[in-house]
Amino acid sequence: MSDPINRTGLRHRFWERKPLKNMNQHEWEALCDGCGKCCLNKLEDEDSGEVALTRIACRLLDDESCRCSQYEIRHQFVPDCIVLRPDNLDTHAYWMPETCAYRLLWQKKPLPDWHPLISGTPQSVHDAGVSVRGMTLSEFDIPEDEWEEYVIEEPV
Ligand code: SF4
Ligand code: SF4
């Protein structure tokens, strides 16, 4: 399986030596494991601040590859899609998936063995059962007031 994310030409285990804020764009993008979980809609309780994950995916998520189908031009379709950067990770880490590489490194935790940067293949994410492959429904098909019925536990 070819990797939709360019992880070639990177220094061996660069994430263990380089702080997130010093990474270049290539290194930063390569950290994404391709799980697709951040592209699921979440419900946030305004009072408690608790975040619940649903299986209702953003309209641009490809359920098979778990990738954004229009990543480079996604803001034309989904203007509020977040551009994660080292300087806004503090603001977003609380809602990000437990296994998200950005969140793990932000928490000073190691990347798991199934991460494509370690396994050498994007397939390992699906084999480990941590991606959203085959489990999403499109936000086009489910009215927003029914999303509560589709709350799930994060696959980890
Ligand atoms: S949750 Fe993190 S690792 Fe998974 S697709 Fe989103 S940014 Fe990438
Ligand atoms: S626009 Fe693309 S990257 Fe953003 S949430 Fe939707 S599928 Fe994910």
81: in domain: yes
CA-CA distances (angstroms) from residue 111 to 35, 53, 115? 13, 22, 7
32, 66, 88, 132, best to mutate for ligand 1 pocket (most atoms within 8 Å of CB)? 32
DSSP state of 31: T
Indicate the length of the chain as a whole number.
156
pLDDT of residue 72: 93
Mapping DSSP to helix (H, G, I), strand (E, B) and coil, where does residue 150 land?
A: helix
- Provide the number of structural domains found in the chain: 1
Per-residue pLDDT tens, the chain, 156 aa: give them.
688 899 999 999 999 999 999 999 999 999 999 999 999 999 999 899 889 999 999 999 999 999 999 999 999 999 999 999 999 999 999 899 999 999 999 999 999 999 999 999 999 999 999 999 999 999 999 999 999 999 999 999
Closest ligand to residue 74's CA: 2
9: in domain: no
Q: Is 35 in the pocket of ligand 1 (CB under 6 A)?
A: yes
8: in domain: no
Tell me the residue range of the domain where 115 lies.
Answer: 14-152
pLDDT of residue 31: 98
